[in-house]
A and B are shown apart, each in its own frame.
Chain A
């Protein structure tokens, strides 16, 4: 862990257990507060990070105790970067159905990806689909104008 004046960063290796996201989130949220982030922005980062880590533990590693989830965080006054990587086979985010479609609105699952996209500036999966990069840039224009992954026409909101 390094504590520099302008940024904080830390790498974690989490067990594939329910609730282990707490290990990251308690410190990440405290650091965002320390760097002066507004509560509404902290909420968005919290939501996105929680969804990404829970997805990695449950869907990626499928709670396999032999597998871990790696989380790399970097926080500065106007920017946060979080990479979450599991040891699962990966998935193709474009195949996740659009949960905002009228006929799927009352289906219980499938909203984590949409929430990550909505509350962060950038969300990028690697080719294998087992590692996601989340970024929030407080100086970026609204997501729909600068992030093509937020385009509703991509079939997976």
Chain B
């Protein structure tokens, strides 16, 4: 997949860096695209090391969390690694409340996450 509407994709060494084009990931059709584009990185492009940088993202709900969990499962089944960074305090609380901070490897900054691959 090379045309993206919801994400920006770049590569640094072996790591695929993903940033998000939307401040709020909430509309149902947006979330479907969000999921499809992320899943394509694994299913179609066979990327093994993926960093999701949430800088600028102000809102996401349970539907988007569901997509992230599915992505995590896909990455693990492909023996890859997924990391998250730059999550704002409110969204970090969502990860903590749902205990998904135990599922995902969450780092404060992009540099810290890159160094952890």
Mark A residues whose CB is within 8 Å of B.
18-19, 21-22, 39-40, 43-44, 46-47, 50-51, 54, 58, 99-100, 105-112, 114-115, 118-119
Contact = CB atoms under 8 A, between A and B. Distances in A.
Interface string B18-49: 00000000111100000000000000000000
Interface residues of B, number: 25
A118 B97 contact: yes
Nearest to A117: B97
Contacts of B89: 40
Given A40-B89, A47-B59, A108 B66 contact: yes
A47 B64 CA distance: 12
Given A100-B99, A115-B97, A106 B61 contact: no
24 contacts: A19-B28, A21-B26, A39-B90, A40-B89, A40-B90, A43-B90, A46-B59, A47-B59, A51-B62, A54-B28, A54-B61, A99-B98, A100-B98, A105-B103, A108-B66, A108-B70, A109-B66, A110-B62, A111-B66, A111-B98, A112-B61, A114-B97, A115-B61, A118-B97
Contact of A19 (B27, B61, B67, B100): B27
A37 to B, nearest CB: 13
A106 B68 CA distance: 10
Nearest to B67: A108
Contacts of B65: 111
